[in-house]
Amino acid sequence: MIRQAGGVSGEPRESLAQILGGRRGALDASIPPVGFVAGWLAAGQSIAWGAGAAIVVAVGLGGYRIFRGGKIRALVVSLAAVVAAALIALHTGRAQDFFLLQLMSNMASALLWAASIVIRWPLLGVVVGLVLGQKTRWRRDPVLLKAYSRASWVWVFGQYTLRVVVYGLLWWSGQVIALGVARTVLSWPLVALTVAVSGWVLYRALPPEHPGLRLAPETGSDDVPRA
């Protein structure tokens, strides 16, 4: 369990999942690939039918989200990703290449998150800081900087590198159905697990007397204090 003991204020610490949220986006991203595999199988392994099914599913899902108050920008971005994946598969003539864009994006994410830790700008801190409206103030606290760095490694290996390994092996062997299953399993379920584990690591790195994520220093420069 994530330690919920309060800091100096004595209030319970909210979990990282409560701060980040985002389940809907991760879940929605896994549905069009299922549509691709379903269309590909139903039409006798036709890439064109699979691509069409994925796009139709993405449009339908996006329309539903907009009807429920979602943002048009999110629909455009997700639809563009599905269309790009479909065009890649149609161009190469290999169904497994529909998942190539996802494989490459996870490779880039793993490298980016790892690099952010090395240069002392861990992306988990950047994301949480933006969500909480802190911008870069959290970097003035050496304890928070260290905690965010440790927790960010969970995202590097527990999510992005794991996806690269699984997707890469399945893509290399041309396992289209298995890729569709993996794309679903390694979406929201993996994101939820990564958030939970990284949250546990993050809070374990904070001493009991620390004020918590929302009480990062608000004054001074953005330079990180030296130990």
Q: Read off the pLDDT band of 1 (50, 70, 90).
A: very low
The answer to whether residue 15 scores a pLDDT higher than 80 is no
Instruction: State residue 24's pLDDT score.
Output: 63
The answer to whether residue 10 scores a pLDDT higher than 80 is no
The answer to whether residue 46 scores a pLDDT higher than 80 is yes
Instruction: State residue 216's pLDDT score.
Output: 58
The answer to whether residue 114 scores a pLDDT higher than 90 is yes
The answer to whether residue 50 scores a pLDDT higher than 70 is yes
The answer to whether residue 221 scores a pLDDT higher than 50 is no
Instruction: State residue 119's pLDDT score.
Output: 97
Those residues whose C-beta lies under 8 Å from the C-beta of residue 177, and which sit 6 or more positions away, are: 37, 41
Instruction: State residue 209's pLDDT score.
Output: 86
The answer to whether residue 23 scores a pLDDT higher than 70 is no
Provide the token pair at 80: 């563009």
Lowest mean pLDDT among 32-46, 55-69, 168-182, 208-222: 208-222
The tens digit of pLDDT for each residue in 86-96 reads 999 999 999 99
User: CA-CA distance, 1 to 168, in Å (whole number)?
Assistant: 32
Q: What is the DSSP string of 101-142?
A: HHHHHHHHHHHHHHHHHHTT--HHHHHHHHHTT-TTGGGG-H
The answer to whether residue 104 scores a pLDDT higher than 70 is yes
The tens digit of pLDDT for each residue in 167-216 reads 999 999 999 999 999 999 998 889 989 999 999 999 999 998 888 887 65
The answer to whether residue 8 scores a pLDDT higher than 50 is no
Q: Read off the pLDDT band of 67 (50, 70, 90).
A: confident
φ, ψ of residue 85 in degrees (nearest 5): -65, -40
Instruction: State residue 6's pLDDT score.
Output: 42
Provide the token pair at 127: 């994301």
The answer to whether residue 219 scores a pLDDT higher than 80 is no
Instruction: State residue 62's pLDDT score.
Output: 85
* Residue located via tokens 């998150």: 113
